[in-house]
């Protein structure tokens, strides 16, 4: 098996002080890339930089909250000033402000949209401008979520942002193709502090805390493993091996790698002269109604005996 090398490349990973972002930064560095570690938590970001440099890699910390054009431009400028170039932008930074629609405030909605959706836009834009000027292609690796694909209770703001990210990905893949810049969205799943609060996983919390591995059924049917399991996809997409992969939403977690479909019509019906409300009501059950789609993130039963 040929090793995937990112030697000589430079990557920015937003929100990489802990969790999935930390795993992305460390594995990009292990593959040979110099990394700009971005986070709002200076101590966490510096700890990741120290871990990378202790292992022989190159990294610097850039402390800023993503969302504004100033932060995005500053991240690209830092990569270029420190390492001379930019090859990959990973837009991982995010926050949660979960609550149901009728209780969600403007501030809760706007904060999530600003960090996830606007932050992805501004960072991708800044990277795209530099990559096009640099003229050697590049990679935009955006971070989505199963919530953006299916919806999830109490996460209307987060679902909107993550669904929007996939929509931007497909559009930008078309716009940047001639510049040999690929754009893909990863849909990661991993055991995190948030995952541990999901009731179905309560029987696993103590085992994970004790350092025991997750059961095979959880790693496969639930696509849950460590953040490091999800980082392999980021390294692949940043590499030359993924030069022809663009405009895709790709899931990874535990032992599972998956490809999400693009939205498509699943059924259609015709009515001579055009539809009216009565005709739709009369024909719905035998036309489109038979093909309505499920919604919401669903999990298979947890089988700890398997």
Name the strand (E) or helix (H) holding 199. Answer: none
User: pLDDT-derived band of residue 56, with 50, 70 and 90 as boundaries?
Assistant: very high
Whole-structure pTM value:
0.95
Mean pLDDT of the 76-95 span: 97
pLDDT per residue over 107-132, tens digit each?
999 999 999 999 999 999 999 999 99
Give mean pLDDT, residues 231-254.
Answer: 97
Active site residues: 145, 158, 162
Q: Which residue has the higher pLDDT, 201 or 232?
A: 232
Q: Is the pLDDT of residue 14 over 80?
A: yes
pLDDT of the residue at 2: 82
Mean pLDDT on 79-86: 98
On average, the pLDDT of the chain sits at 95
| Torsion sign across C-alpha atoms 28, 30, 33, 34 | positive
CA atoms of 63 and 109, how far apart (whole Å): 24
Domains of the chain with bracketed CATH: 10-190+225-259 (3.40.50.720)
- pLDDT of 265 over the 60 cut: yes
Q: Comparing C-alpha atoms, which of 176, 162, 164 is closest to residue 125?
A: 176
User: Which pLDDT band, with edges at 50, 70 and 90, does 197 fall under?
Assistant: confident
Instruction: Please report the beta strands in the chain, taking only residues with DSSP state E, as ranges in sequence order.
Output: 10-13, 34-39, 59-63, 88-91, 138-143, 181-188, 249-253, 256-259
The predicted pLDDT at position 100 comes to 97
Higher pLDDT, 304 or 246: 246
Give the pairing of strands 249-253 and 256-259: antiparallel
- Among the ranges given (73-77, 82-86, 158-162, 293-297), the one the predictor scored with the smallest mean pLDDT: 293-297
CA distances from 17 to 127, 165, 211, 230 (A): 20, 22, 21, 16
Query: What Rg value do the Cα atoms of the chain yield, rounded?
Result: 21
The residues near 46 (Cβ < 8 Å, ≥ 6 apart) are 61
Q: Which residue has the tokens 């932060």?
A: 71
């Amino acid at each position: 098996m040929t090793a995937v090398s990112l030697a000589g490349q430079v990557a920015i990973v937003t929100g990489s002080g802990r969790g999935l972002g930390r795993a992305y930064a460390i594995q990009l560095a292990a593959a040979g890339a110099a990394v700009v570690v971005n986070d709002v938590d200076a101590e966490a970001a510096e700890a990741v930089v120290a871990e990378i440099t202790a292992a022989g890699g190159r990294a610097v910390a850039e402390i800023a909250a993503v969302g504004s054009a100033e932060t995005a431009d500053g991240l690209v400028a830092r990569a270029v000033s420190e390492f001379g170039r930019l090859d990959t932008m990973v837009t991982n930074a995010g926050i949660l402000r979960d609550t149901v629609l009728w209780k969600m405030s403007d501030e809760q909605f706007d904060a999530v949209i600003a960090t996830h959706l606007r932050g992805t836009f501004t960072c991708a834009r800044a990277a795209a401008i530099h990559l096009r000027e640099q003229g050697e292609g590049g990679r935009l690796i955006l971070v989505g979520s199963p919530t953006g694909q299916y919806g999830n209770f109490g996460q209307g703001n987060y679902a909107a942002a993550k669904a929007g990210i996939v929509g931007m990905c497909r559009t930008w893949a078309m716009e940047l193709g001639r510049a040999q810049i690929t754009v893909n969205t990863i849909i990661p799943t991993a055991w995190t502090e948030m995952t541990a609060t999901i009731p179905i996983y309560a029987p696993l919390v103590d085992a994970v805390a004790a350092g025991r591995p997750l059961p095979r059924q959880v790693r496969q049917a639930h696509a849950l493993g460590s953040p490091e399991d999800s980082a392999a996809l980021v390294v692949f997409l940043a590499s030359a091996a993924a030069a022809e992969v663009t405009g895709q939403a790709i899931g990874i977690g535990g032992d599972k790698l998956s490809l999400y479909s693009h939205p498509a019509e699943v059924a259609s019906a015709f009515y001579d002269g055009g539809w009216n409300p009565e005709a739709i009501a009369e024909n719905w059950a035998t036309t489109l109604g038979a093909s309505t789609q499920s919604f919401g993130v669903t999990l298979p039963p947890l089988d700890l005996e398997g």
